[in-house]
Chains A and B, each alone.
Chain A
Amino acid sequence: MEKRTLCLYFQVHQPVRLRKYHFFDIGKNNDYYDDFANRTYTRKIADRCYLPANRVILDLIKKYGKNFKVAFSITGLAIEQFQKYAPEVIDSFKELAATGSVEFLAETYSHSLACLVDEAEFKRQVKRHSEVMKDLFGMKPVTFRNTELVYSDEIGEMVANMGYTTMLTEGARHILGWKSPNYLYTNSINPKLRLLLKNFRLSDDIAFRFSDQNWDQWPLTAEKYVSWLTAADGEIVNLFMDYETFGEHQSAGTGIFDFLAALPGQVFANSDFEFLTPKEAAAKHQPVAPLHVPYPISWADEERDLTAWLGNELQNEAFEELYKTREKVNALKDEALIHDYNCLQASDHFYYMCTKLFADGDIHSYFTPYATPYEAFINYMNVLSDFILRVDNEYEKQKGKTSKRTKKTTKE
């Protein structure tokens, strides 16, 4: 009998944190970042999570050869910060890339929500990211994962137009209805794009519940987990999660690394699963149906929609103002401005402004450096105001230059 597929994919992202930026800095100071916090966090998470987790995965690949495979997506902003503060993290990902058992996925460079703005902007950012991946790891990504697994029929179509054959998204219950996430689906507009859907129950068992002592399944062993996998329906189980699950959200003391190290052995011994990367999984299985997703979905919160980042008046205003200036920024081709623009686009900034205070409040407050969404908005808008001023000034200058030049030419 043909083996079923287990697909592991881990997301690596670190936003560039903004410093406390006062309104009197506007127009005077274009240093927006909290270097101390960025260095401290990057170092801390590298030491707690990325380095030890990469070591576990490398050991597993050495032990099981081509039988153990994983996929990563690393944002451009995370890469920038590793280069600055923890270059050995990049080396260790390169080492993983060299094994041939790891697939690197494409996404937007800045972990942005550009897919909601327009196709050109979205494309520009995906291209930038895919170039970085090729430079660092020697392979051009063929599978796409969008920021926060945001997906809709239209977004999928844009992704297919960029030449990607496989895309990852959430197995949202309200989209699937009676259908199972454990099969291969296709985009409903362009059937060439194959969709892998996250099994959120089995993913969250590891990502969120692993160390929860009030959970009736605690403690979770690899053996028990594999028995759940075996009991699952369908052909593919997609376990998608933040890489920070290992060592950061679930600290080393909870036994999460031991769990990860023990999992493949248990899978090989006690199940009919094999490990494949997303592109291999999409090639192996036959799609069962097109998936209709008229409105964007994501992997966040109970609603699995966009309301963690967009929806309230503060988020909408900040988002609109940010993208109003995109044409000028792109026309200027100024690296310093583009760098700042990338940093400001990270979806995290909008997440901090979220005012949903009910069920997901805990998770939100865990991830935000601001005491309230108001503070997040004020600080972001101050930075953005300065950025817009700089863009406008530069733009005027360049326009002045070009018009002078044209005048000269006409005189001559």
Chain B
Amino acid sequence: METRVLMFGWEFPPHIAGGLGTACLGLTKGLAKQGVQVLFVMPRASGDEDQSAAKIINASDVEALYDYRDIEEYWKNIRFMEVGSNLIPYMDPERFEREVNRNVHERTEEHKIGFKNKYQFSGKYGANLMEEVGRYAVVAATIARQQQFDVIHAHDWLTYAAGIAAKRVSGKPLVVHVHATEFDRSGENINTLVYNLERQGMEEADRVITVSNWTRDIVVRRYGIPPEKVVTVHNAVDFQSYSDMKVERGVKEKVVTFLGRITYQKGPEYFIEAANKVLQRYPNVRFVMAGSGDLMDRSIRRVAKLKIATKFHFTGFLRGQDVQKMFAYSDVYVMPSVSEPFGISPLEAMRSGVPTIISKQSGVAEVLKHAIKVDFWDVNALADAIYALLAYPALSQFASKYGLDEVNTLKWENAAFKLKQIYEELKR
């Protein structure tokens, strides 16, 4: 009997804001190959970086939500279901409220399009993320009552409530998949509402899947989840549709790149301090910080204060092709994350043949041999590694060559195979 999974996500390519959608795509593809049937439920308005109010408010009501699509024949095992929702990934409740309020101000006329009856989106000033999470849960319960499945699988905290609701209605086992925890996003200043929701999800789950042992450790230590319930399934990458890109360089110097959200979690300040050290010794180099985020302004001020702004550049948010172009432009890629549950972008850099430095505080460090690993706080070690990759060609050639070989061996099939085994265990 084929296993049927009811999966709750919040984003899916092409509309993605971060690594989660890509991971869901890889996993579901891998599961499809393993003969597992997946019903993927997600809020419609997730995705695009441009999380505009129009999209959020355009979300349709629960009664009208059944919108199945079969995407390509390849996907015959996977059905999609979109749920009207205001869920916005990568946003904490405070920021969500700000964003929604701003958009509400700007587009008042669109309020009328909205939600029916009891699910009415409160609209005006009281909009909050927690309400949306709750609403998603109610929708999930409805779906769970109508659909046939063996296991429920919920990705990250926004969907945990949905997962719990589905479990209560159906009595089926629940798997929660931790792609990130509140401690990764916020350090020690955690949002307790989010934390509680995360913990509740993990407690009610029959299995907790973490994307790395780094995250598994946080789940066990900080959330008090019994270790025997927590299983690591490392992420992978899919480079099938990847094509190499050649770019004309505008500058003759070597380029060292940081690419990601400029937030506490990603450790941008360590990149800046290391850049400053390297520049004092090795003039023939430029540093690029690609991305945007709440620490961007502070980062720019720091660069100016260090007087390295002629050699240190900001690109703002990059999308689509530009990301790949940035990699093609780089001689060294750096991911100095303070706490990175996994971290897909180093793999993309390595796929482009770029030698890569990653922090030891990342899950991806557990699967890579041919990346240079440093502690995020050890600015000297980071500067050393950058310098070495710039100054010793044998090192960068070596890391580039073997790094490429290495990332090509990381397959979603392996992750999906592990997942399938977990499902089958739970079914029994």
Contact = CB atoms under 8 A, between A and B. Distances in A.
B378 to A, nearest CB: 10
Contact of B280 (A24, A313, A316): A24
Contacts of A215: none
Main SS at interface, chain A: helix
B388 A381 contact: yes
B398 A314 contact: yes
B391 interface: yes
B220 interface: no
Contacts of A357: 369
A374 B395 contact: yes
Contact of A378 (B369, B370, B395, B397): B395
B383 A375 contact: no
A314 B395 contact: yes
Interface string A163-184: 0000000000000000000000
A9 to B, nearest CB: 36
Nearest to B388: A378
Nearest to B398: A313
A218 to B, nearest CB: 33
Contacts of B387: 23
Contacts of B394: 313-314, 316-318, 377
A375 B372 CA distance: 7
A94 B202 CA distance: 67
A382 interface: yes
Main SS at interface, chain B: helix
A15 B18 CA distance: 48
B277 interface: yes
Contacts of A312: 398
Which bucket holds chain A's interface residue count? Answer: 20 to 34
Nearest to A381: B392
Given A313-B394, A317-B392, A377-B395, A372 B384 contact: no
Contacts of B393: 317
Contacts, number: 58
Nearest to A26: B281
A378 B277 contact: no
A375 B384 CA distance: 10
B287 to A, nearest CB: 16
Contacts of A26: 281
Nearest to B355: A374
Interface string B375-392: 000001001110110011
Given A313-B397, A372-B369, A378-B395, A24 B385 contact: no
A342 interface: no
Contacts of A378: 372, 384-385, 388, 392, 395
B388 A382 contact: yes
A22 B369 contact: no
Contacts of B277: 24
A401 B366 CA distance: 56
A371 B277 CA distance: 23
A382 B398 contact: no
- What 10 A-B pairs are tightest by C-beta distance, nearest first? A317-B394, A378-B388, A23-B387, A313-B398, A374-B372, A313-B394, A381-B392, A22-B384, A23-B384, A314-B398
Interface of B: 277-278, 280-281, 369-370, 372-373, 380, 383-385, 387-388, 391-395, 397-399, 401-402
Interface of A: 22-24, 26, 312-314, 316-318, 355, 357, 371-372, 374-375, 377-378, 381-382, 385
7 contacts: A313-B394, A313-B401, A357-B369, A374-B370, A377-B392, A378-B395, A382-B384
